[in-house]
Amino acid sequence: MDYEAIIGLETHVELATKSKIFCGCSTAFGAEPNTQCCEICTGAPGSLPILNKEVVRFAVMAGLALNCEINKRCHMDRKNYFYPDLPKAYQISQAGEPVCINGFLTLDSGRKIGIERIHIEEDAGKLVHDNGSTFVDYNRAGVPLIEIVSKPDLGTAEEAAEYATKLCLIMRNIGISDCRLQEGSMRCDVNISLHEEGKPYGIRTEIKNINSFSNIAKAIDKEIKRQEGILCSGESVKQATLRYDAGKDTVYIMRLKENSDDYRYFPEPDIPGFIIPFGLVKECKKNLPELPDARRERYLALGLTKETAGQLYRYKKISDFFDETLKNGVSAKNSANLMIKGIFSFLKTEEEKETFDVKITPMQFAELVKYVDERKLNINRGAEILGKMMANGEGVSSYIIIGETEGVSEEDLEALAKEAIEANPKACEDIRKGKKQAINVLFGYIMKKTRGKADTKLAEEIINKLL
């Protein structure tokens, strides 16, 4: 029997504020346990929370980037439950009047995935398990979050992974979070149910705290198969909270799922309701940067390939550097190819690419690109020089060998191409038969003769013309 999957995501995003949502404690990651908490974070009797206005501003920015309506009136609520990392035995969140409602995110296919709401809340602490003992670190308690709740509009594991990836890029791009899944600053809960087409939705299960985009897809596939097996055997799926074990590539039930009524939401008595001023919304809208999809389309219009544009627009600081480079009048294609070939090989990890801490300026990089544009250096030699520039912060002139940039004239290159053709008849025969890789033999001949100075693109055009 065929079942249709109904999938929705609840995505928690830690906000990049310097202080927590209700107190002045630091939000810096990686401090010694329990050194960044106070009586407000830990819910000491008599302590009173004060809402951080920067948290509201960041939530408004997220809502605008996701095409949401911004609620004028909002209030905070208490969500009551017990867990060792929640010292107050309740979480201050939003239920009735969130900051943002009714938005959407567009997938590459053009499908719009509805955003039901974006609300602000405090994070809980963190349990640390060590040699059979469990410790509680309250540094994370009170760190500000937004929770982005999608509508159940996703139908496949691939769509869910793309949705989460796009959310991450948007949040990073507008500067409200680093969304480092490995540090827990972005966490996804996935809700899944199956039903027969035309019939009511089935019982929903929730997979908690998935920490990578690939694992989102894997976890959903596993849960769909698990629910299919239950339904095909004539049994009913139970509402439950599950965990995905990446090492074993399996999902397992942690506990039967609570209903929202079990949280006994009620308005937070210590924080008055608040109004989001129109002026704040107007300011956020004015300061909203170019969003990732728009940036990608602009790069494609510049003539970049889909793959190259995709690599650049994923990292805001890298794409900002690229845009500044182009202001110096150099070509987009050579700039992009040099960045991919040189900078991306220099910056190995995702974190290095996100941070993009390099010693050269866009103007210095543009000077190098200009040599490639003028065919005084080929792309490979340019990438080699770029690596040295990035390591030492010096300009391109420090690494040019005397006579290196004299280049090879088109007339000399055509003469060399004729020599290469005459010297390599077998390779020429293979090229005529459609074996494109055989042209590398001719390139090798030309590069050896020119000590690597020839422009391979021009050489390819000449060889194809001669053949």
- Which residues sit opposite 6 in a β-bridge? 193
Distance CA 122, CA 86 (A): 10
pLDDT tens digit sequence for 42-90: 999 999 999 999 999 999 999 999 999 999 999 999 999 988 899 899 9
Distance CA 126, CA 9 (A): 22
The answer to whether 391 and 433 are in contact (CB under 8 A) is no
Under DSSP, the state recorded for 437 is G
The answer to whether 192 and 224 are in contact (CB under 8 A) is yes
DSSP E strands, 138-281 = 144-150, 186-195, 205-210, 240-245, 250-256, 266-267, 274-275
Q: For the chain, how many helices (H) and strands (E)?
A: 16, 16
Residue in the block written with tokens 């346990």 = 33
| Segments in the chain below pLDDT 50 | none
Phi, psi of 462 (to 5 degrees): -70, -45
Exposed/middle/buried for 323, CB within 10 Å: 0-12, 13-18, 19+? middle
Which tokens in the block code for residue 122? 């405090």
Phi-psi bin for 345: left (phi > 0), alpha (psi -120 to 50), beta? alpha
The answer to whether 148 and 115 are in contact (CB under 8 A) is yes
Distance CA 284, CA 279 (A): 9
pLDDT tens digit sequence for 256-286: 866 666 789 999 999 999 999 999 999 999 9
Distance CA 445, CA 421 (A): 9
Chain centroid to Cα 238, Å, comes to 33
- Give the pLDDT of residue 411: 76
The stretches of 255-378 forming alpha helices (DSSP H) are: 278-287, 292-301, 306-313, 316-326, 332-338, 344-346, 350-355, 362-373
- Which of 465, 413, 460 lies closest to 437, judged by CA? 460
- Which of 206, 213, 96 lies closest to 162, judged by CA? 213
Which tokens in the block code for residue 118? 């974006």
- Give the pLDDT of residue 379: 84
Beta-carbon neighbour count of residue 112 at 10 Å? 14
Kind and range of the H or E run holding 101: strand 100-106
Q: What is the pTM of this model?
A: 0.85
pLDDT tens digit sequence for 162-217: 999 999 999 999 999 999 888 889 999 999 999 998 888 899 999 998 988 999 99
Half-sphere exposure of 250 (CA within 13 A, CB side): 4
Type of residue found at 23? C
Type of residue found at 138? Y
Which tokens in the block code for residue 69? 């309506």
Phi, psi of 199 (to 5 degrees): -110, 165
- Domain extents in the chain: 4-284, 307-405, 410-466
Using DSSP's 3-state secondary structure scheme, residue 285 falls into: helix
The answer to whether 170 and 291 are in contact (CB under 8 A) is yes
Distance CA 230, CA 232 (A): 6
DSSP strand pairing (90-93 vs 77-80): antiparallel
Distance CA 45, CA 345 (A): 54
Q: Which CATH number fits domain 410-466: 3.30.9, 1.10.132, 1.10.10, 1.25.10?
A: 1.10.10
- Which of 389, 420, 385 lies closest to 405, judged by CA? 385
Residue in the block written with tokens 């019939």 = 199
Angle at 320 between CA 104 and CA 107, to 5 degrees: 20
- Give the pLDDT of residue 118: 98
Cβ-Cβ contacts under 8 Å for 428 (sequence gap 6 or more): 421, 438, 442, 467
Residue in the block written with tokens 């705290």 = 209
Type of residue found at 434? G
Phi-psi bin for 205: left (phi > 0), alpha (psi -120 to 50), beta? beta
